[in-house]
């Protein structure tokens, strides 16, 4: 991590959402940027948070010329509040919720899929065909 300074400003306690919210300023001279994981660990030790999954950082922008970055930070009271108020994509990104391992179908393949399903039988046999083809 090197010589990195993390400061917070515009600190606000938000009891209705069960969190503390603030702007995070990171000073990292000589380094290209600092990973969010390192920032989360540093904030968790600064504010004595037991579970680092309750800390969420996002929206970081590096200043022109480098050396300084700033973004938003949120510290929730517990994991229930994180799951209740944090957006799903950020929960998945932070490891609070598990990722879906479903097969993705691109727009380009939808036409082919429709043609194949049109030929397929109806009813329960159709779902079996879908499962074997990997659509479900």
pLDDT value at 132 more than 90:
no
Residue 6, C-beta contacts closer than 8 angstroms, at least 6 positions apart: 24, 25, 26, 39, 42, 43, 46
Query: Which of 12-16, 38-42, 70-74, 111-115 has the weakest average pLDDT?
Result: 111-115
pLDDT value at 120 more than 80:
no
**Given the structure tokens 């022109």, which residue do they identify?**
64
**Model pLDDT for residues 42-85, shown as the tens digit of each residue:** 999 999 999 999 999 999 999 999 899 999 999 999 999 999 99
pTM: 0.73
86 and 116 assigned to the same domain = no
- CA 48, 51, 56, 60 dihedral sign is positive
115 and 88 assigned to the same domain = no
88 and 106 assigned to the same domain = no
Mean pLDDT across the chain: 89
The pLDDT of residue 39 is 95
Domains in the chain, number: 2
120 and 86 assigned to the same domain = no
77 and 16 assigned to the same domain = yes
**Which has more pLDDT, 62 or 113?**
62
75 and 118 assigned to the same domain = no
Give the structural domain span for 114: 102-136
The fraction of the chain above a pLDDT of 70, given in percent, is: 96
Q: Please, which pLDDT band fits residue 34 given cuts at 50, 70 and 90?
A: very high
The pLDDT of residue 22 is 98
79 and 16 assigned to the same domain = yes
83's enclosing H/E stretch is: helix 79-85
CATH of the domain at 59: 3.30.70.3370
The C-alpha atoms of residue 120 and residue 125 are separated, in whole angstroms, by: 8
The pLDDT of residue 116 is 72
Q: Please, which pLDDT band fits residue 135 given cuts at 50, 70 and 90?
A: low
112 and 87 assigned to the same domain = no
């Amino acid at each position: 991590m090197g010589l990195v300074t993390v400061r917070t400003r515009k600190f606000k306690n938000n009891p209705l959402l069960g969190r503390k919210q603030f702007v995070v300023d990171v000073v990292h001279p000589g380094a290209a940027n600092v990973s969010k994981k390192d920032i989360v660990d540093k904030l968790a030790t600064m504010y004595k948070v037991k579970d680092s999954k309750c800390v969420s950082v996002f929206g970081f922008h590096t200043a022109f010329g480098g050396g300084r970055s700033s973004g938003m930070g949120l510290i929730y009271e517990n994991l229930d509040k994180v799951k209740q108020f944090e957006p799903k994509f950020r929960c998945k990104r932070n490891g609070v919720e598990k990722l879906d391992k479903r097969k993705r179908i691109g727009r380009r393949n939808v036409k082919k899929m429709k043609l194949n399903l049109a030929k397929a039988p109806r009813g329960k046999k159709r779902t079996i065909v879908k499962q074997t083809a990997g659509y479900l």
